[in-house]
Amino acid sequence: MRFFLLTACLLSTVSAWAGEGRVELNVTIAKGAPITAPQQWGPVLDDVGFNSTRFSSDVPENPLQITQARTDASPIYQVHGILTGNGSIMLPPGKTFSQRDRGAMQEWVRKLKTQGIEGTSGAKMPFGLTKSQFETARKELRTAVTAKTKGADPAATLKDITRGLGNPIVMDAQAERELAASGAVRDELNGLAVGTALAALIRPAGLILQPRASNGRIEYVVADGRKGGAPWPIGWPSQEGSGKLVPTLLEKEETQDVEVPLADALAEIQNRVGVPFVYDYNGMAMVDVDLGKMTAQLTAGEHYYGRLLTRLLTRAKLKYEVRQDDAGRPFIWISTVR
């Protein structure tokens, strides 16, 4: 099995949708605008990506707006702008461009085509999504996984846990091969949110989850982590204490002087604590930590589960953190101390 250390870079993948939205521009000529301005603007507007342009002295009810025709899968955006008295063009929601601002206007058009109307608002959210797109992704990815995963085929598991998503999963052939070669799923992800489970499932294959906008909608890209981008996280940090999120960590266990396999000891603590344990197998492989080959030395006495877990992991150069999945459910993330 191959493991890769994930990095933070940017990856571009082929879109599963059939092209970008179409943008049609209707420009109201304001009083006092230079008479030659429409003719001068024509080549510029073609060059920056507008699919059609129309100048008119007719004043619509709302001369500065964007409307959408057709469906999200094949949108047509009708932009209403104003040719101002100084020869500049104002576009919604109030951005003014001169003919020297080709690069900025081209970026405005690109965002409209790929991110939809909200893409032109200037609001920045993770993964380049608009606020509503990011909220949609969070809502979709918080659905609980209902399938058993431990020991299952990773490719089949990916299909099972993402079957109910309203937006598509995008993988290229290389990512599919990497996932298939990563071996059986090692953690039980049943009950976790889809986003958290999916990010954990593909990580041992060196892959990351990256939502992105396409034609104003969302697609979930499974990308090569070595090539880039901020990944969808395997759980989210919480401001609440570990004991409040997982009260069973504060319960005590009576132990004896005994040496047992570390993996068995951790599995037993997981059963007693009652929340999923998810492991950073990539990081563990980088420092040659193999749970299956390590033992744990228990001492006689009463021990809080949280302290017992810390003691066992510290000896293996590991640590734990209580995180929350995309639906706010707690789980324990076990990673290296590095």
Q: For the chain, what are the domain ranges? A: 22-123, 131-224, 242-336
- Checking if the pLDDT of 323 tops 60, the result is yes
Q: What is the pLDDT of residue 12?
A: 29
Which amino acid appears at position 29 of this protein?
Answer: I
Stretch 95-102: mean pLDDT: 92
For the chain, the average pLDDT equals 87
CATH class of the domain at 242-336:
alpha beta
Q: What is the pLDDT of residue 73?
A: 65
CATH class of the domain at 131-224:
alpha beta
The pLDDT confidence band at residue 123, using thresholds 50, 70 and 90, is: low
Stretch 196-221: mean pLDDT: 92
Most confident range (mean pLDDT) of 12-16, 148-152, 254-258 is 148-152
**Per mean pLDDT, which range of 39-43, 240-244, 317-321 is the poorest?**
240-244
- Checking if the pLDDT of 14 tops 50, the result is no
- Distances in Å between the Cα of 15 and the Cα atoms of 115, 134, 169, 226, 295 are 13, 18, 10, 20, 47
- Distances in Å between the Cα of 242 and the Cα atoms of 188, 219, 279, 306, 322 are 21, 34, 17, 9, 6
Most confident range (mean pLDDT) of 19-23, 62-66, 305-309 is 305-309
Residue listed under structure tokens 């949609």? 136
C-beta separation of 220 from 209 below 8 A: yes
Over pLDDT 90: what percentage of the chain?
62
- Whether the domain at 131-224 and the domain at 242-336 fall into the same CATH topology: yes
- Checking if the pLDDT of 15 tops 60, the result is no
Residues 52-83: pLDDT tens digits?
Answer: 999 998 877 777 889 888 666 678 999 999 99
Residues 160-191: pLDDT tens digits?
Answer: 999 999 999 999 999 999 999 999 999 999 99
Q: What is the pLDDT of residue 90?
A: 92
The pLDDT confidence band at residue 16, using thresholds 50, 70 and 90, is: very low
Over pLDDT 70: what percentage of the chain?
92
Stretch 99-121: mean pLDDT: 87
The pLDDT confidence band at residue 11, using thresholds 50, 70 and 90, is: very low
